[in-house]
Each structure stands twice: as structure tokens, then as C-alpha cells.
């Protein structure tokens, strides 16, 4: 029986609001982010969930704590492998500052590739799925991780160009007993409660 992994992006931080690249920099939620986490939890409450897991970064873990409390689930457990993509020397910069300083993304020192993100996150989540066959699990993570997994699973069909992994959005993957991943539906978020279907 397949396991459902619902990957939720953390709520907003001040750096999100300022359009700064966060990566592994541990920036906390702001008040908007806390409200987004609560709104996401209220939408997720319509379904049954077995447990909540999280990246160890504080913006994700606080989001997970808010969701777990609202759903009356045990405290979230940390999964180090789903921490945000490392952006090296562009962390803290806006897109304009990054382009001015480094130009092409491939020139950024310390930038973690999407393939490396998948190589650390997917095995950890597959193991989690196999430990909970047939269950529905919530994992609070980051845009870089969710987007990298989505591109890998859909052969880069999702997200489409200009599509964004929104703060507080929910994205559902199915993991089979043999370890096959598929993207079931994506981009449910506060204020837009329906998922986008995956053809």
C-alpha cells in the first residue's frame, strides 16, 4: 500500500518578504508566517494524518509545531535530510544582488545542486514512507527541497516555468512499497484550498 507524503513549505520569514535567498541561514517565521502555518493547518485538518515531521531549521520546525498543535498530533520529529538547499555565498542576497555579484548561478561558490538535494532528501523520505506503509504523513520543508523533488519525480514537468512553491502550500507525493515516487497533487495553500492536479 502506498504511503502519502505531504510536503508543506514553511510560513513566511522576513527574508522571504524581502525576497532574500535563505538557504541554510536559520531565519525565524514572522507574524505572517505564523498565520500562514495556522491557516495551512486548518485546511489540512480536513484529512487524517499520522504524524508531523520537519526540517531542523527553525522556520520549518515552528511551522510544524503550529500544525501539529492544531491537528492535535504529537510534537514534530526532525529529519535533517530535508533542510533547505544550501545556496553558498548568495545566501542573504536578493535576486538582483546575486545577478550583479555572480551572474550565472553556476558560478556561485558553495551552491548545492538540485541533484544533490534529491540525493539526500529522497532516500530519507523513502525510508520514512517504508516505516509507515499506507499512512499519511506531513513533512514541513522548504521551497528548494520541494521543488527539487517535484522536478525529479515529474521529469521537470512540475513546477512549470513561473510556478512558485508558496509559503504554507501543501504538495502530495505517493511512495509505493517498491520505492516508486509520484506527484499526486500540488499547490494547495491558504486562500487557494484546491490542489492543482497532475496530468
Active site residues: 10, 84
CA–CA separation, 129 vs 133, rounded Å? 6
How far, CA to CA in Å, does 157 sit from each of 8, 89, 116, 135, 174?
A: 20, 29, 19, 27, 17
Q: Do residues 58 and 88 make contact, with C-beta atoms less than 8 angstroms apart?
A: no
Give the E-state strand segments of 25-163 in sequence order.
51-54, 77-78, 136-141
Nearest to 117 by CA among 182, 55, 180: 55
CA–CA separation, 129 vs 117, rounded Å? 18
Q: Do residues 41 and 63 make contact, with C-beta atoms less than 8 angstroms apart?
A: no
- State the residue for C-alpha cell 550583479: 100
Cα-based angle 132, 66, 51 (whole degrees, multiple of 5): 10
Q: How many CB atoms lie within 10 A of CB 33?
A: 24
Amino acid at each position: 500500500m502506498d504511503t502519502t507524503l505531504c510536503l508543506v513549505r514553511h510560513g513566511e520569514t522576513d527574508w522571504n518578504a524581502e525576497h532574500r535567498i535563505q538557504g541554510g541561514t536559520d531565519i525565524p517565521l514572522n507574524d505572517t508566517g505564523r498565520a500562514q502555518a495556522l491557516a495551512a493547518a486548518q485546511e489540512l485538518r480536513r484529512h487524517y494524518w499520522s504524524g508531523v515531521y520537519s526540517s531542523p531549521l527553525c522556520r520549518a520546525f515552528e511551522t510544524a509545531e503550529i500544525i501539529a498543535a492544531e491537528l492535535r498530533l504529537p510534537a514534530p520529529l526532525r529529519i535533517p535530510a530535508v533542510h533547505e538547499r544550501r545556496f553558498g555565498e548568495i545566501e542573504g542576497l536578493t535576486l538582483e544582488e546575486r545577478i550583479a555579484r555572480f551572474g550565472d548561478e553556476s558560478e556561485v561558490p558553495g551552491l548545492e545542486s538540485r541533484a544533490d538535494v534529491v540525493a539526500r532528501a529522497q532516500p530519507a523520505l523513502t525510508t520514512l514512507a517504508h516505516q509507515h506503509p499506507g499512512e499519511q504523513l506531513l513533512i514541513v520543508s522548504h521551497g528548494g527541497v520541494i521543488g527539487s523533488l517535484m522536478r525529479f519525480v515529474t521529469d521537470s514537468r512540475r513546477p512549470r516555468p513561473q510556478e512558485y512553491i508558496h509559503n504554507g502550500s501543501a504538495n502530495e507525493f505517493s511512495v509505493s512499497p517498491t520505492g516508486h515516487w509520484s506527484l499526486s497533487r500540488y499547490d494547495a495553500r491558504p486562500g487557494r484550498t484546491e490542489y492543482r492536479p497532475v496530468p
